[in-house]
Structure formats: structure tokens, C-alpha cells
Amino acid sequence: MEHGDRDRVKRLNRIEGQVRGIRKMVDEGRYCIDIAQQIKAVRAALKRVGIEILDGHLRTCVTTAIQSRDKAQIETKMGEIKNLLGSWED
């Protein structure tokens, strides 16, 4: 496992704990707006991990495909990214 992955695993561990915290807040009947703010924070943290992963993807897989000059391979990579971004906020 490379350095970037270790960092992402750590962040996903923290996010898992935050989701558990939100569940506890609902369980305890905490104030709705506070719960919604926490959900917002977790969504933002997940988005940051997603961007890190996409950034890593561009620097490795996509870069390799482009350097190979294999058109079908490049087309696949480009299509995947476009498809992912198109539904990013759903």
C-alpha cells in the first residue's frame, strides 16, 4: 500500500467514526440542524477523499494510458471520468 492510500484509509476510518456519531445523534434525538450540519461535514470529507482518488487516477492510470498512445484505452479512461463527473453530485 502506497503512502497516498494509507492517508485515505485513515481518513475513511475517521469518516466511519463520524457516521457512527451521526447515528448516535439521531438515536439520542439531538437537534435536527446539528445532525444536518454533521451530515454536511461528512459529505464534504467524502468528497475530498473522492477528489484525492480521482487525482491519483489521473496521475497513474490515465497518464499510463495517454503515454501508451493506445486510442481505445485512452477513450475508455476519458469516458469513465466524464461519466463519473456527470453524476458526481447526485
Binding stretches for a second copy (CB under 8 A): 1, 5, 8-9, 12-13, 15-16, 19-20, 22-23, 26-27, 29, 32-33, 35-37, 39-40, 42-44, 46-51, 53-63, 66-67, 69, 74, 78, 80-82, 84-90
C-alpha cell, 27: 438515536
Q: Minimum distance from CB of 72 to a second copy (Å)? A: 14
Residue 42 contacts residue 22 (beta carbons within 8 Å): yes
27/30 Cα distance (integer angstroms)? 8
Q: Minimum distance from CB of 26 to a second copy (Å)? A: 5
Q: Which amino acid is at 5?
A: D
